[in-house]
């Protein structure tokens, strides 16, 4: 007997119910995103609102999410492999399957993971991560990378390469270049927001952490502690992130030389800028310029 499942975009699909207890241990259970734009959350059409901490917690508490987390736990206990992408990575995290392990997910969820699952070694620059028998993938389009990874591991490289050639897909190991570098994406944290604003306003000069702490009327230690709680990284990493984000905007405009862009964000020259982009996004500055040009030419 088949059931009809209605997707969030209104599309209806025929689905065949399965008995979870009869799923072979050799099977791979794959969880896509769990729908942070669920109608009951009031975040439909609100790209930024769907990452609100309270809405994520509400989504995790819904019966289907809790049931899926239990399914993941049971399947893993039987020796089965569990895979998830984007917000779906919340499910194995809820089940405790990633405790002490590594994972990746959508970069906008990094602050939430650092706060609620601090025992997970999160690396949102990676496209796919396998740890403790759990395979995780990044943002929505990383679902493709996840499936190719599973084909390669479960069936073989030859078939994976054949699929890639038919679909004209390149191997991608990092999603860093697709991030918008908004580490301070915790709406409730005023310290993080104020710190970001101070750094951005000071460009091309760079405030020291001590100067920023003084302007925010707190000690350096207090500032560092609050920022780490909000984002999971140090104040200096956040400073580099703000500079990186500003540099990316300028590069995508394609109106300045690399040296001019570097100077606008407080670096001496293009060489220094290249070190920043290579360290934080694993790509040269020109990659941001070419990707933006490609997007405009297609539009």
Among 218, 188, 148, which Cα is nearest to 53's? 188
CATH number of the domain to which 8 belongs: 3.40.50.880
Flag whether 185 is in a domain. no
pLDDT tens per residue across all 299 residues of the chain = 458 887 767 888 888 877 777 888 889 999 998 988 877 776 555 555 678 888 899 999 999 999 999 999 999 999 999 999 999 999 999 999 999 999 999 888 988 999 999 999 998 878 899 998 899 998 767 888 899 899 988 998 889 888 888 887 766 655 555 554 444 344 357 888 889 889 988 999 988 999 999 999 999 999 999 888 877 778 998 898 888 888 888 887 777 899 999 999 999 898 988 888 887 777 788 777 755 444 443 33
Same domain, 64 and 161: yes
The residue to which tokens 């934080």 are assigned? 280
- Rounded to 10°, the helix 235-253/220-231 angle is 60
Phi-psi region of 217 (alpha: psi -120 to 50; beta: other; left: phi over 0): left
| CA 121 distance to own-chain centroid | 13
Task: Give the pair of three-digit tokens for residue 155.
Answer: 């069936």
Flag whether 184 is in a domain. no
* Domain with 14 in it: 3-178
Which of 150, 178, 206 is at the close of a domain?
178
Among 12, 6, 8, 29, which Cα is nearest to 88's? 29
Same domain, 44 and 128: yes
Same domain, 71 and 135: yes
Tally of domains within the chain: 2
Distance of alpha carbon 35 from alpha carbon 59, whole angstroms: 8
């Amino acid at each position: 007997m088949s059931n009809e499942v209605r997707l969030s975009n209104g599309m209806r699909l025929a689905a065949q119910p399965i008995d979870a207890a009869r799923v072979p241990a050799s099977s791979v259970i794959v969880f896509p995103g769990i729908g942070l734009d669920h109608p009951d959350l009031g975040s439909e059409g609100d790209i930024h609102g769907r990452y609100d901490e309270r809405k994520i917690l509400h989504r995790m508490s819904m019966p289907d999410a809790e049931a899926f987390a239990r399914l993941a736990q049971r399947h893993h206990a039987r020796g089965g492999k569990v895979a998830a992408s984007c917000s779906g990575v919340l499910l194995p995290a809820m089940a405790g399957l990633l405790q002490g392990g590594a994972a990746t997910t959508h970069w906008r969820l990094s602050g939430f993971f650092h706060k609620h699952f601090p025992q997970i070694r999160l690396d949102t620059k990676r496209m796919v991560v396998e740890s403790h028998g759990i395979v995780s993938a990044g943002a929505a389009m990383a679902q493709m990378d996840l499936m190719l990874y599973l084909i390669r591991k479960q069936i073989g490289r030859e078939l994976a390469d054949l699929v890639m050639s038919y679909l004209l897909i390149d191997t991608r190991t990092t999603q860093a270049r697709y991030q918008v570098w908004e580490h301070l994406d915790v709406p409730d944290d005023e310290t993080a927001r104020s710190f970001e604003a101070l750094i951005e306003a000071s460009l091309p000069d760079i405030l020291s952490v001590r100067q920023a702490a003084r302007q925010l009327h707190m000690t350096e230690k207090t500032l560092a502690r609050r920022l780490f709680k909000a984002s999971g990284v140090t104040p200096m990493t956040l400073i580099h992130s703000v500079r990186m984000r500003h540099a990316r905007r300028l590069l995508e405009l394609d109106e300045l030389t690399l040296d001019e862009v570097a100077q606008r964000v407080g670096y001496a020259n293009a060489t220094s800028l290249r070190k920043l982009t290579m360290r934080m996004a694993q790509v040269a500055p020109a990659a941001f310029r070419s990707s933006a040009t490609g997007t405009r030419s297609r539009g």
